[in-house]
Chains A and B, each alone.
Chain A
Amino acid sequence: MTEQLLGRMFASLIWIMTISLLLVKAHRSAQASYRLQAVGEAGLLAVLALNNEPWLWLDVGLVLAIKEIVIPRILSSHGEVASKDYGAKSAVGMAFLLMVAAIVTAAGLALGEVPGLDRPLMSGILIGAWFISFIHLSARYETWSLSWALLSLDTVSGVLAVSVAGPLPEFAGVGMELAALAIAVLLAWLSRKIFTLLHTTDVRDVEELTG
C-alpha cells in the first residue's frame, strides 16, 4: 500500500515537472525542472526496486549521477545564446498549453483505467506525462526548449517502459535504462553543438529545420 502511494507520488512529480518543462521561459528554469523530474524517476525506480527488482537500484544511482550532474552540465556549457533567451515562443498561448496538458492528462488517466495494467493510476499519470512531452515537441519554438522536451520524453518513456513491462530480469532492466541514459547524454551533447552553431534560438529562423 505504501509502495503504491509512493509510486503515485513520484509519478505525479514527474508529471508536474513535465508540465513545468513545457511552460518555463528560461533555459536555467528548465534545468531545475529536469533535475526534479529525474528525482521523480529515481524515486519511482527505487519503489520498483523495493518491489522485488533489486537490480533497479543500480539504475537509481545511474539516473541520479547522470541526470542531476552530467546532462545539465553539458547543456549549460557553451550555451550563451540559449542562456540569454527569455520568453515563451509558442505556437499558442501558455494558458492554452495548460488546458491541452489538462486534457491529455485526463486522456492518460482514462487510458490507465483500461483493464490490463498492474498499476492503473500510476500508469495513467505517466501516460499523461508522456502525451504532454510529445505536445512539448511541437508546441515550443526555442531550440533549448525542444532539447529539454526530448530529454523529458526520454525520462518519461524510460520509466513508463520499465513500469509497464512487469518484473524485469536484471540485464534487461539495467540495459533499458542504460540505453535511455545514453540517448539522453548524446542528445545533450548534440544540443550543445547546435547552441554553439546557431545565433538564434527560434527554430522558425532555421531554414533547414522548416523544410
Chain B
Amino acid sequence: MSISLALPVVVLVVLAVFVLVMPASWAIWLERTAIGVLVVSLALLAGDQWHLPDALATWFYLVVAVISVIALWFSEPYVRAEAKHLHWNDAQIKQYGSLLLIFIASLVAVAIWTNFLWLWLGIEAATLSSVFLVGTPRDRGAIEAAWKYLLVTEAGGLAALVGTAVALAATGHPISQWDYATWTAIGHHMGKARWILIGAYMAMIGYATKAGLAPFHTWLPDAHSQAPAPVSALLSGLKLAGAVVIVYHLFGVLTPTVPAQDLKDGLIILGLLSLLVAAAFVAFQTDLKRLWAYSSIEHIGLISLGIGFGGIALVGAVFHIWTHASSKTLLFQNAGTVRLLYHTSESTQGAKALLARTPWTGGMLALGSAAIVGLPPFAPFWSEWLILVGGFQSASNRIPDIIAVGLLIVIFSGIALRIPNWLWVPGTQDRLAKIREPWALVAPNLVLALLVLVGGVGMPLVVHPLWHHLAHELLKSPI
C-alpha cells in the first residue's frame, strides 16, 4: 500500500488518540482539525494532486469525506446538548470523540484501500468502533443494542474473513497479491472454481451482515435507534454501502473464473429480501430513527439489486451510494434534533406537530421524507430510477425488477402513511408551544437539505470528469 493511501487514515487515528489523551476541552479543536484534514484531501483530489486507485474509490471517498465533514460539524453542538441532557462526564465525551474519528478513519480506509485483507480490517475497525459508539449512552437499551450489533455483525465478519481467504486462495494468487487494483487474471483454475464460488458466497453473506441486508439485518434497527444521531447517520450512509462496495470489488476479481451471473444472483436475492423486510415493517414504526433504519435496509437492498442487475443499474447503484448517504444523513441528524428538542423521537410519546412547533426541523423532515419516497426532483429519485430502468434493460429475467417495483410502492406508501404523525398530527394542548431551534443544529442539516434537493443532478455535474470516467468503467464491468 502506498503512503498516500495510508496517510489520511493515519492522521485521523493520530487525532483520535490525541482526543483520548488530551483534556476534554481539546476535543472540539481536534475534531475541527479532522474536518480540515478531510477538506484538504478533497481539495488535493480536485486539484489532481492526490490520486486514488480507481474511479469508484475516488467517488466513494468523495461521498465519505463530504458526509463525514457534515457529520462532524453536526456532532459538535449535538454532543454538547446530549452530554448536558444525559449528564455525560468528560471521559464519555473524550471516548465518543475519539471513537468517532476512528470510525471515520476506518470508513476512509474502506473507501481507498485496495487489499482485501486490509479492507476486511477496515470494515472490522468500523464495526468495532461503532459498536462502542452505539453503547456510548451506557444505559441498558444502548448496551443491549451494542451487544446485539456485535454478536450478529461479528459472526458475519468472521464469515467474511474465511470466505475471502477461501475464494482468493482458490484463485491461485499468493496472499500478497490479494489486491483489486493490481489484480491480474492468471488463467482459469476450473478445478478450484467450486471453492471460489463457495468462498464468494460465504464472503457475500458475511459482508451482508455488515451491510444490514436481510435476513442478516436484525441488529440494524436497534443499533440505529440507540446510537447518537451523527453515528446513526454515518452507519447508515457510509458503513452499510462500504460493505457492499467490498463485495463488488471481490466479485470483480473472481469473475474471470466464476460466471458473473452466479455471483450476481446472490446479490439480487439479498436485495429483494431486504425490500421485503422493509415493506413488512416500515408502516408500523412509531420511532423516527427506527423508521429510517428500516428505510436504510430498503436503500442498501436497492444498491445490492443494482449491482446484481449490472449495466445502467450498476451506475444507478453507485450513484445511490451518494443519494442514500446525503438523504439518510439529513434524516438521521434531523431525527437526532427531534430527540433533543422533544426528548423523544416517538410519535406516540410527544414528538408531534413538528411543522408547527419547530418549523425548520419539521420542514427538513418533510423535505427528507419526500426525497426518501423517491419523488422528483430530489436526489434519490434519479438513482432509484436508474436502478429500476437498468433492471428492465439489462437483467436476463425481469421478474425481480417487477417485484422490486411492487415492494418499493408498498415501502413508499408506508412511509407516506407514517410521516404525518410527526409532522402535523397535533399533540395534547400543553404540548403545542413553540420550541426554540438552535441554529448550530439546524445549519448542517440545511446544507444537507440543499444537497438532497439539487444533488441528484448537481453532483454528477460538479464532478463531471470523474462521473463520466466512473460511468464508463462501470458499464464495462463484468459484474
Chain A positions within 8 Å of B, measured between CB atoms, are 111, 114-117, 130, 134, 137, 143, 146, 150, 153-154, 157-158, 160-161, 164-169, 172, 175-176, 179-180, 182-183, 186-187, 190-191, 193-194, 197-198, 206, 208-209, 211
Contact = CB atoms under 8 A, between A and B. Distances in A.
B155 A134 contact: yes
Interface string B422-435: 00000000000000
Contacts of B131: 186, 190
Interface stretch (B160-168, B298-306, B471-479): B160-168
B144 A164 contact: no
Interface string B153-190: 01101110110011011100011100000000000000
B117 interface: yes
B162 A137 contact: no
Contacts of B157: 183
Interface stretch (B191-199, B232-240, B261-269): B191-199
A166 B199 CA distance: 15
B246 to A, nearest CB: 15
Contacts of A176: 117, 161
Contacts of B221: 211
13 contacts: A137-B151, A143-B147, A157-B161, A158-B161, A169-B176, A179-B120, A183-B154, A190-B147, A193-B135, A194-B144, A197-B143, A208-B144, A211-B221
A116 B191 contact: yes
Given A166-B169, A172-B117, A115 B143 contact: no
B165 A187 contact: no
Given A164-B169, A175-B121, A206-B144, A130 B150 contact: no
Contacts of A150: 150-151, 154-155
B194 A116 contact: yes
Contact of B158 (A157, A165, A167, A168): A157
Interface in B197-230: 198, 221-222
A161 B124 contact: no
Contacts of A165: 165, 168-169, 175
Contacts of A190: 131, 135, 146-147, 150
A166 B177 CA distance: 13
B274 to A, nearest CB: 18
A161 B161 contact: yes
Contact of A194 (B128, B143, B154, B195): B143
B370 to A, nearest CB: 29
A159 to B, nearest CB: 10
Contacts of B166: 164
A190 B133 CA distance: 12
Contacts of B174: 166-167
A137 B155 contact: yes
Contacts of A211: 221-222
Nearest to B195: A116
B145 A114 contact: no
A167 B166 CA distance: 13
Given A137-B151, A198-B140, 5 more contacts: A150-B151, A193-B135, A193-B143, A208-B222, A209-B222
Contacts of A164: 162, 165-166, 169
B400 interface: no
Contacts of B124: 179, 183
B418 interface: no
Contacts of B359: none
Contacts of B165: 160-161, 164-165
B175 A209 contact: no
Given A130-B162, A175-B121, A187 B194 contact: no
| 6 A-B pairs closest in CB distance | A157-B158, A116-B192, A208-B144, A161-B165, A116-B195, A165-B165
Q: Which of B128, B158, B198, B222 has the most CB of A within 10 A?
A: B158
B374 interface: no
Contacts of A172: 117, 175-176
A150 B148 CA distance: 11
Contact of B162 (A115, A160, A186, A187): A160
A146 B151 CA distance: 8
Nearest to B222: A208
A180 B192 CA distance: 27
B252 interface: no
B8 interface: no
B190 to A, nearest CB: 10
B191 A115 contact: yes
A208 B151 contact: no
B141 interface: yes
A111 B161 CA distance: 18
A150 B117 CA distance: 21
B169 A114 contact: no
Nearest to A171: B176
A206 B166 CA distance: 37
Interface in B38-92: none
